[in-house]
């Protein structure tokens, strides 16, 4: 499918492009080296409407569609995947509130999200990665409260200073396993909730990822999203949307790598001519452009189907699987085109190469995506 952008979509994409080039790119190397996201970047994303891009206007958001969200994430990821990661996870959390929360929760948290407060989603645990059903964090009823105990790990959008609220998937009825899981909102600063180790990552270094610790953490039962026992279903539905966001991020990384490779191939002269005069380089670029276009169409298709209320379990998995593996392959070829210079931190492709490698791992590994796809095909 091809996307013919509306006027609103063109406006947001152009805003994202200018924002990425002028207000992210000058700081990307610094943020990668320090592992710290500049707070003013998040503030500017809120000002431009990106933090509330998928939130209806009645709750303070931009009220735009799934395709527009994908286009904006792609554009930002071309320049800096860490910023795109923060935005993608944040919009996933927005979606949980939109589809599952009650009106009071929507009014509070969607307004906060649009204003630039950062949302996080906590499912993964040290012993429960791909096997999310093995989670052990508990939220036991005590009067009008839940008392939460447990540890979550590899949680995006939570760092020493980042992250304002998190949707935690916890066992309210442990004996029922996945049918006893519930989704509960925990605000930063709640007694008993702390951010533990912040991960020192290979890539996406400016995107905060941390361990969350809950020790006798008491939150009101009104913080429950939806009904008790529906937490696993809420998480799986959220991951479908999240995988579209990760696919968009992967497409953006690949597009950024292609742009960098093309630019370098014009500038690098060997044997008296630009290296892109050589058929080997031309064929590399042809392969990179073709597979990235295919990845983009898979992501757009899943986004379009989701926008129209169609179940996209298979399509989201296909988009995320293909786009993420493609990003790694394209960055590999782009670095090869750069030769030895591509291995040096003077060139952005070195960071892109590291950033790309996480995408086949999070929001469900490529192997998990193939499980999802094969089940749908066999059925």
Place of tokens 């509070």: 108
Q: How confident is the model at residue 116 (pLDDT cuts 50, 70, 90)?
A: very high
Those residues with Cβ within 8 angstroms of residue 319's Cβ, 6 or more apart along the chain or in another chain: 243, 244, 247, 295, 298, 299, 301, 302
Contact 212, 151 (CB under 8 A): yes
Helix (H) / strand (E) element for 51: namely none
How high is the pLDDT of residue 189?
96
* pLDDT for the residue numbered 133: 82
Q: Give tens-digit pLDDT for 311-321.
A: 999 999 999 99
Q: What is the pLDDT of residue 269?
A: 95
User: Is the pLDDT at 38 greater than 90, yes or no?
Assistant: yes
Catalytic annotation present for 175: no
Q: What is the pLDDT of residue 128?
A: 87
pLDDT value for 328: 98
pLDDT band for position 308 (50/70/90)?
A: very high
Instruction: Give me the residues paired with residue 8 across strands.
Output: none
Does the pLDDT at position 1 exceed 80?
no
List CB contacts of 208: < 8 A, sequence separation 6 or more: 37, 86, 156, 157, 158, 159, 160, 162, 163, 198
Please, which pLDDT band fits residue 5 given cuts at 50, 70 and 90? confident
Q: What was the pLDDT predicted at 348?
A: 97
Residue 3 confidence (pLDDT): 75
pLDDT confidence of residue 91: 97
Do the Cβ atoms of 120 and 89 come closer than 8 Å? yes
**Mean pLDDT across the chain:** 96
* Ordered structural domains, the chain, with CATH: 7-118 (1.10.540.10), 120-229 (2.40.110.10), 232-378 (1.20.140.10)
**pLDDT tens track for 152-169:** 999 999 999 999 999 999
Which of 43, 162, 363, 367 is catalytic? The answer is 363
């Amino acid at each position: 499918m091809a996307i013919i952008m509306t006027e609103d979509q063109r406006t947001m994409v152009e805003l994202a492009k200018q924002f990425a080039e002028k207000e992210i790119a000058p700081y990307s190397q610094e943020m990668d080296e320090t592992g710290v996201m500049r707070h003013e970047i998040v503030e500017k994303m809120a000002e431009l409407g990106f933090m509330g891009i998928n939130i209806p206007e009645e709750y303070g958001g931009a009220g735009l569609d799934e395709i527009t969200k994908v286009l904006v994430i792609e554009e930002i990821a071309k320049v800096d995947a860490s910023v795109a990661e923060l935005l993608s996870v944040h919009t996933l959390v927005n979606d949980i509130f939109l589809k599952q929360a009650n009106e009071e929760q929507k009014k509070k948290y969607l307004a906060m999200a649009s204003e630039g407060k950062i949302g996080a989603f906590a499912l993964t645990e040290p012993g429960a990665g791909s096997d999310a059903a093995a989670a052990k964090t508990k939220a036991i009823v005590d009067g009008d409260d839940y008392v939460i105990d447990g540890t979550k790990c590899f949680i995006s959008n939570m760092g020493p200073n980042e992250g304002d609220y998190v949707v935690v998937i916890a066992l309210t009825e442990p004996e029922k396993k996945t049918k006893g899981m519930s989704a509960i909102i925990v605000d930063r600063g709640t007694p008993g909730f702390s951010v533990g180790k912040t991960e020192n990552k290979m890539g996406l270094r400016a995107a905060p990822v941390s361990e969350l610790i809950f020790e006798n953490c008491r939150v009101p039962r009104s913080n429950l999203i939806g009904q008790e026992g529906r937490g696993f279903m809420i998480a799986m539905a959220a991951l479908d949307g999240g995988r579209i966001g990760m696919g968009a991020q992967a497409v953006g990384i690949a597009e950024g790598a292609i742009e960098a490779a093309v630019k370098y191939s014009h500038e690098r002269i060997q044997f008296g001519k630009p290296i892109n005069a050589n058929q080997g380089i031309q064929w590399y670029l042809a392969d990179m452009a073709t597979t990235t276009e295919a990845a983009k169409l898979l992501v757009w298709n899943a986004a379009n189907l989701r926008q129209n209320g169609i179940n996209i379990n298979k399509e989201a998995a296909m988009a995320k699987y293909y786009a993420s593996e493609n990003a790694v392959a394209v960055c590999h070829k782009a670095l090869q085109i750069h030769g030895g210079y591509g291995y040096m931190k003077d060139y952005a492709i070195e960071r892109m190469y590291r950033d790309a490698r996480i995408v086949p791992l999070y929001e469900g590994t490529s192997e998990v995506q193939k499980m999802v796809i094969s089940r749908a095909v066999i059925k």
